């Protein structure tokens, strides 16, 4: 079982969403990433090389970007945003990956 940690930036991202959306995101993270976070699935994939994170989790329109340290078994949530079309939005603003 992996421990889940959030960066300060991810916590600020999470605060942007409505309470029921926050609950949906947190529940999805716990369900999808506590076990085998590095196994690709329909909703979980390794990302192309970028500055934000190595992995992406899809929960509806929400996107959770995260890194995994397999040695100490920690999943670190880097950013939480939305995806509209091919655009990532963090706190309502478009950002480059």
Q: How far apart are the first and last CA of the chain?
A: 29
- Crossing angle, helix 19-33 and helix 8-16, to 10 degrees? 130
Q: Where are the domains of the chain?
A: 3-85
pTM score > 0.85 for this model? yes
Q: Could you read off the pLDDT tens digit of each residue along the chain, which spans 97 residues?
A: 999 999 999 999 999 999 999 999 999 999 999 999 999 999 999 999 888 999 999 999 999 999 999 999 999 999 999 988 888 899 999 987 7
Retrieve residue 23's tokens: 């609950």
What's domain 3-85's architecture? Answer: 2-Layer Sandwich (3.30)
Are 43 and 52 in contact, with CB atoms under 8 Å apart?
Answer: no
**CA-CA distance, 34 to 55, in Å (whole number)?**
14
């Amino acid at each position: 079982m992996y421990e889940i940690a959030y960066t300060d930036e991810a916590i600020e991202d999470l605060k942007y969403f409505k309470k029921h959306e926050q609950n949906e995101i947190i529940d999805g993270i716990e369900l999808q990433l506590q076990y085998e976070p590095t196994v690709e699935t329909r909703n979980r994939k390794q990302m192309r090389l970028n500055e934000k994170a190595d992995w992406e989790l899809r929960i509806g329109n929400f996107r959770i970007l995260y890194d995994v340290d397999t040695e100490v078994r920690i999943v670190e949530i880097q950013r939480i945003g939305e995806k509209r079309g091919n655009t990532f939005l963090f706190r309502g603003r478009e950002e480059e990956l």
